[in-house]
Amino acid sequence: MRLMLLGPPGVGKGTQAKLLAEVYGVPHISTGDLLRQEVREGTELGRRAKEYMDRGALVPDDLILAMFESRLDREDTRPGFIADGFPRTIPQAEAFDQMLARRGLKLDAVVTVEAPVEELVRRSAGRRVCRHCGASFNVHYQPPKVEGVCDVCGGPLDRRDDDREETVRRRQEVYRAETAPLIAHYEKQGLVRRVDGSQPVEAVLAAIKRAIAR
Ligand code: AP5
């Protein structure tokens, strides 16, 4: 299964990608997670990427493409992958098409997930992430058992630096301008399946599975 999830910040791409990765037995590749790992490790790529991420802008295409391609070439992607947050610009989508073609691979579907913007802002503002294990919680929808403490490993929960309301709204604008045009790109390839992301997590997952099976 080679699947791409496309949708605005906070719509639930990461949440659904993790669940789908288990359902289909393929890795979840999130360029946002890969970049945050580079930032945590203090690499040169992480240092450069953070400047863009903290202001809600996109990281330059050349940095993203090299990072994604090296992840795509790891052994565990043989049975497929769930791409989350990549591609995000038309040049990235065109480069991705070529990357797949060079390897004789094709996407099975591009699932677009949408929800009203105020809901997206609420979800992003409520997100808390464990500093140690990366588990994700939400103070509105999926609160930890003890406030500020990770249920999985007991680590402290932080807000992501780019989840401040002003930055969240900026990321929404960047999505509309730079990433939403990808829907038309993939519609031309007959790959787009649209899903309503404003429902509860389990209902969105069921809708995605139905959309893929169509
Ligand atoms: P990235 O990490 O990809 O962030 P994003 O796309 O902005 O998406 P989010 O992680 O904010 O949201 P999501 O849709 O995954 O929702 P989630 O499941 O977490 O990118 C971060 C930055 O990195 C970018 O701004 C950019 O700078 C850079 N970057 C990354 N990729 C790049 C690329 N390809 N090119 C250039 N730059 C790139 O859910 C959000 C919250 O809502 C959670 O708390 C969750 O628990 C909750 N939730 C989820 N689903 C539901 C539901 N159905 N009901 C209620 N709550 C829900």
CATH number, domain of 105, equals 3.40.50.300
Ligand 1 site, residue 208, Cβ cutoff 6 A? no
pLDDT of residue 161: 87
Of 169, 88, 161, 55, nearest in space to 122 by CA = 169
Residues 16 and 46 in one domain: no
Asked whether residue 156 falls in the same domain as residue 177, the answer is yes
| List of the chain residues with pLDDT < 70 | none
Query: 121 CA to middle of ligand 1, Å?
Result: 11
Q: Are residues 23 and 33 in the same domain?
A: no
* Tally of domains in the chain: 2
Residue ranges in the chain assigned as alpha helix (H): 13-24, 31-41, 44-53, 61-72, 90-102, 117-126, 165-174, 182-187, 201-213
Q: Rounded to two decimals, what is the model's pTM?
A: 0.95
pLDDT in the model for residue 134: 86
* One domain, residues 87 and 37: no
Q: Which ligand 1 atom is at minimum distance from the Cα of 201? A: 53
pLDDT tens column, 110-157: 999 999 999 999 999 999 999 998 889 999 999 999 999 999 999 999
Q: Are 129 and 99 in a shared domain?
A: yes
pLDDT at 13: 97
Query: Are residues 154 and 192 both part of a single domain?
Result: yes
| Known catalytic membership, residue 214 | no
Strand 109-114, strand 192-196: pairing: parallel
Question: Do 35 and 22 share a structural domain?
Answer: no
81 and 94 co-located in one domain:
yes
What does the pLDDT read at residue 214?
82
Atom 2 of ligand 1: nearest residue by CA position: 32
As a residue count, the chain comes to 214
Whether 55 and 115 map to the same domain: the answer is no
Same domain, 172 and 95: yes
Range of the domain at 208: 2-27+74-213
Catalytic residue among 36, 122, 128, 171: 171
Residues 97 and 115 in one domain: yes
Comparing CA positions, the residue from 89, 83, 65 lying closest to residue 3 is: 83
